[in-house]
């Protein structure tokens, strides 16, 4: 599988460039699924994870908003197990957050690789839990509790010798003080805070079978409280940079319409949305684009994917978002590579 490099023309995406982006994300997800479900059969596991991380970076560098849109849409419709799609979402968000938090390259690498592999000790169980409707059994609860250390031990057997990566996987469910400035913490604690926040955020907006996928705003409010406490740098940065309703998630507008978020705008939590259904639930022949940053209409709430029975043409939606961004002075500056959110 090769990811094409598109250096230098971030501002002039050829129509065809998006043609294969969704299939590249799907390839990435299925390759990750193989890696996580049969790790002991993989030749040079560490090299495979590094290669994987490289592909992920290429896909995000292409266009962060399109990457988020396609990734969240894929996560809500994909047929691979939950564990692989959850790992891909966490890895991608950690990559974006590492740029936002200006983490050193070495920490960024350990963080993203920990995100991709943190549940490797319970891949099959995690897929099972996502499908089952009843509460976890006692045996399952035990396995859930011990999985960080199981995952860490398995990675050691796979010859992972990056201590930071191993430490973060081993303690990714530990509670780390989140009021201490990140810069003052040891790297493993700093990265654990980032990963555990993203792990919770991704789990909450994922449409698992056992619950209809809590809507993104409920989740994030539950995660960070009604008002995001600026002292909790990780949640604050997550909400500021990726948003309560990230690209690829559905929302109800205060004019009664149902829309999908296409791109973030320079105003945190006021994304560009495309309205898909009118207030009585009928399809619009043409989606209407709204810049929610201009105040009307506003986003009233997020919607779970299961609440919106729509087939979407993702290529059209991604292009629509890009077109709108290129023709709006406020959004134009955002069509660049990572690190300039």
CA-nearest of 212, 203, 199 to 305 is: 212
φ, ψ for residue 327, nearest 5 deg = -100, 15
Q: What is the pLDDT of residues 18-37, one digit of tens each?
A: 657 888 999 999 999 999 99
Rounded to two decimals, the pTM is 0.86
Tell me the angle at which helices 45-62 and 21-37 cross, rounded to the nearest 10 degrees. Answer: 160
CA-nearest of 227, 219, 288 to 249 is: 219
β strands within the chain, DSSP E: 250-253, 258-263, 272-277, 283-291, 299-303
| Cβ-contact 324, 274 below 8 angstroms | no
Higher pLDDT, 122 or 204: 122
Segment 280-303 mean pLDDT:
87
Is the pLDDT at 257 greater than 60? The verdict is yes
Highest mean pLDDT of the ranges 42-56, 60-74, 202-216, 299-313: 42-56
Q: What is the pLDDT of residues 177-210, one digit of tens each?
A: 878 899 999 999 999 999 999 998 888 777 654 4
> What is d(CA 120, CA 39) in angstroms, rounded to the nearest whole number?
8
Cα–Cα separations (whole angstroms), residue 175 to 192, 193, 240: 9, 8, 23
Q: What is the pLDDT of residues 201-214, one digit of tens each?
A: 888 777 654 455 55
φ, ψ for residue 303, nearest 5 deg = -120, 145
pLDDT > 90 in the chain, percent: 51
Which of 224-233, 273-282, 303-312, 328-337 comes out lowest in average pLDDT? Answer: 328-337
Average pLDDT, the chain: 83
Interior angle at CA 173, CA 130 and CA 189, nearest 5? 145
């Amino acid at each position: 599988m090769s990811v094409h490099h598109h250096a230098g023309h971030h501002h002039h995406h050829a129509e065809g460039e998006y043609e294969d982006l969704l299939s590249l994300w799907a390839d990435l997800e299925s390759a990750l699924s193989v890696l996580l479900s049969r790790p002991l059969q993989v030749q040079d596991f560490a090299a495979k994870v590094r290669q994987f991380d490289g592909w992920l970076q290429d896909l995000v560098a292409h266009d962060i908003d399109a990457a988020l849109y396609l990734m969240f849409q894929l996560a809500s419709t994909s047929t691979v197990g939950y564990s692989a799609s959850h790992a891909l979402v966490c890895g991608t968000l950690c990559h974006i957050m590492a740029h936002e938090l200006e983490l050193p390259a070495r920490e960024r690498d350990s963080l993203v690789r920990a995100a991709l592999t943190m549940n490797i000790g319970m891949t099959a169980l995690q897929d099972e839990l996502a499908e089952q409707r009843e509460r976890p059994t006692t045996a399952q609860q035990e396995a859930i509790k011990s999985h960080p250390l199981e995952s860490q031990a398995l990675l050691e057997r796979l010859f992972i010798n990056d201590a930071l990566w191993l430490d973060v996987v081993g303690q990714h469910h530990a509670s780390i003080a989140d009021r201490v400035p990140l810069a003052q913490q040891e790297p493993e604690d700093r990265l654990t805070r980032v990963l555990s926040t993203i792990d919770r955020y991704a789990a909450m907006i994922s449409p698992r079978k056992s619950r209809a996928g809590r809507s993104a705003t409920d989740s994030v409010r539950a995660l960070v409280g009604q008002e995001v406490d600026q002292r909790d740098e990780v949640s604050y940065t997550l909400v500021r940079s990726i948003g309560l309703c990230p690209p690829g998630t559905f929302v109800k507008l205060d004019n009664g319409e149902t829309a999908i978020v296409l791109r973030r705008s320079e105003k945190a939590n006021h994304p560009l949305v495309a309205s898909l259904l009118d207030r009585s639930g009928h399809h619009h022949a043409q989606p209407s684009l709204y810049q929610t940053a201009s105040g009307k209409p506003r986003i009233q709430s997020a919607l779970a994917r299961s609440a919106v029975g729509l087939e979407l043409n993702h290529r059209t939606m991604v292009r629509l978002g890009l077109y709108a961004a290129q023709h709006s002075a406020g959004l134009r500056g955002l069509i660049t590579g990572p690190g300039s959110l």
